[in-house]
Amino acid sequence: MNISVIGTGYIGSVTGACLAEMGHTIVFVGRDTKKLDIIRAGRSPIFEPGLDTLLTKNRDRIETTTDLVSAVEKTELTFICVGTPPNKDGSSDLSQIREVSQTLGKALKSNNRFPTIVTKSTVLPGTIEGVIIPILEKESGKKAGTGFGIASNPEFLKEGTAVEDFFHTDRVVIGVSDGKTKDLLENLYRPLNVPIFTTTLRTSEMIKFASNAFLATKISFANEIGNLCRELGIDSYEVFEGVGLDTRINPKFFRSGLGFGGSCFPKDVNALIAHAKSRGITPRILNSVIATNDDQPRRMVALLKTHINPRGRTIGVLGLAFKPDTDDIRESRAIPVIRMLLEEGASVKVYDPVAMANFKKICPDLTYAGSASELLDSDAVLIVTEWDEFNRLDYTGKLVIDGRRLPKARKEAAVYEGLCW
C-alpha cells in the first residue's frame, strides 16, 4: 500500500520505518528538512535502537517531502503523527493537529478516491469527532465515512524498544466509524499476527489515555509502597515479585524508585486530569499519581542529606535520559534532582552515555564528565537512569543514593541507600 506519514518524531519515524519493513511504500511528510534529509539518506532522525537498520534496508520504498498535499495525492492511507505538547494548564496543545487537518482537508477536496486519515497522535477522547473531522469536512466539502475514511490508531510503543514493540505489540487498537476503513486497517495490521481490538473513535482515544494512566498509577503505587517498605526495612522489589505472581496483577511496571518521566506518562496523566476537571470530575487517583511521582526526587535529595550536606560538595548524577537506551530528557527525573541539588548549593557533575548534548541545551552550566568512571570521584553519587554501563562501574568505597536499583552499586558501595528498598 502507499502510505503517507505526517511527522518525523518518535511515533512518525518508527511507524513509517516499520510499515516500510512490512512491504509498504512510505512518504514521510515533515517541516524539518534536515530530518527529512537524514531519513532519505537511510538513517534515523532519532536515537532509537534498530531504526537505522530498517530505514537503510527499506530505503527504496521510502520518500520524503515537505508538501503534504502531494503526499496525500499519491497515497491511500495517511497517518497523522504530529506532536500534542502540553499547555501550561496540563491540557493538550492541538495547534499542530489543527494545522495538519486544515491542509489535509484541502488535499481531500480534489481527491476522488477514498483516502483514509488515521490519527496516531495522542489526542483526548472526542478530539477526532470534535476537532479533526469538522475541519476535514469543512475544508474538503466531503463527509467522513463516505468521502474519506477516518480512524484512530493509538500508539503504545516504548522509547528504546519501539521497533520491537511495533512488531510484537500486545494489541493493535483501531477506532473507526465505517466498515471500509475498518477492513483497510485490520488488513494492514493482520500480518503482525497480534490481537486487533476494533472499537469506536472516542473509545480508542480513551484506551490510550487509560493505558498510560494505569501504568503510571502502577509505578506511583509501587513507589508509595516502596517508600513504606524502606522505612520498615523491607525490600519492595521482593514484595512486588510476590505480588506480581498474581495473574490478575502481573509483575510488570512495579519497578519502584525515582518515578516516571518521558514524553507520555506525565503529559498524558496531566491532560486526563485537566480533561476530567473540565467535565466537573475530581480525578483523585490521578492527582495522587502525579503527587507521588513529584515527591520521589525530593526523597532522593533528602536521603543524600542524611549523609552529607551538599553545600560546596561535588555531587555526581549518573544518567540524564528519562530512561536507558534513549537520548530523550523530556520530564527526566534528573531535572528536578539537579535543580534541588543546585538549590542546596552543591556543585553538580553529570554523565549520560547519549543524552548529554540534549541536557546541555537546558542546563549548560553543569560539569559534564567525560566518562561515567570520571564522575565517581564526586563526594556522593546519585543513580538516576539505569544504563547498563553504570552496572559495570566500580563503586567500592563510594557513597551512593540509588533511584533505580543497580545491582553492582548495591553490592559494592561503602554507603548505599536505595530509594524504596
Quick one: 260 or 390, whose CB is closer to ligand UDX? 260
Residue 123: helix, strand or coil by DSSP? coil
Residues 78, 72: contact at Cβ < 8 Å? yes
The CA–CA distances, whole Å, from 59 to 38, 40, 51, 73 equal 11, 7, 12, 21
Interface map 258-287 toward ligand UDX (x if CB under 6 A)? -xxxx-xx----------------------
Quick one: 149 or 262, whose CB is closer to ligand UDX? 262
Contacts with ligand UDX by CB under 6 A: the residue count is: 20
CB of 266 to ligand UDX, least distance (A): 9
Residue 185: Cβ-neighbour burial (10 angstroms; 0-12, 13-18, 19+): buried
Residues 6+ apart with CB under 8 A from 103: 68, 69
Find the farthest-apart pair of alpha carbons in the chain and give their distance in angstroms, rounded: 72
Quick one: 115 or 257, whose CB is closer to ligand UDX? 257
CB of 254 to ligand UDX, least distance (A): 6
- The residue assigned the cell 516516571 is 260
Could you tell me which stretch among 13-21, 141-149, 170-178, 248-256 binds ligand UDX (CB under 6 A)?
248-256
Of the candidate residues 254, 351, 359, 390, the single one contacting ligand UDX (CB under 6 A): 254
CB of 241 to ligand UDX, least distance (A): 12
Quick one: 159 or 402, whose CB is closer to ligand UDX? 159
CB of 158 to ligand UDX, least distance (A): 4
Could you tell me which stretch among 96-104, 107-115, 150-158, 407-415 binds ligand UDX (CB under 6 A)?
150-158
CB of 236 to ligand UDX, least distance (A): 11
**Buried/exposed code over 312-325 (b: 16+ C-beta within 10 A; e: otherwise):** ebebbbbbbbbbbb
Closest CA to 231 of 23, 421, 9, 8: 421
- The residue assigned the cell 505489540 is 169
Quick one: 214 or 345, whose CB is closer to ligand UDX? 214
Quick one: 147 or 154, whose CB is closer to ligand UDX? 154
Distance CA 12, CA 19 (A): 11
Write out the catalytic residue numbers.
Answer: 264
Distance CA 393, CA 388 (A): 10
CB of 330 to ligand UDX, least distance (A): 9
Residues 6+ apart with CB under 8 A from 161: 49, 325
Residues 99-128 that bind ligand UDX (CB under 6 A): none
H-only helix segments in 116-264: 127, 133-140, 162-167, 179-189, 201-232, 236-244
- Binding of ligand UDX at residue 221 (CB under 6 A)? no
Residues 270, 85: contact at Cβ < 8 Å? no
Residues 317-336 that bind ligand UDX (CB under 6 A): 322-323
Could you tell me which stretch among 33-41, 89-97, 212-220, 269-277 binds ligand UDX (CB under 6 A)?
212-220
Residues 56-95 that bind ligand UDX (CB under 6 A): none
Closest CA to 237 of 420, 95, 113: 420
- Binding of ligand UDX at residue 219 (CB under 6 A)? yes
CB of 169 to ligand UDX, least distance (A): 9
Quick one: 12 or 262, whose CB is closer to ligand UDX? 262
Would you tell me which residues interact with ligand UDX (CB under 6 A)? 155-159, 212, 215, 219, 253-255, 257, 259-262, 264-265, 322-323
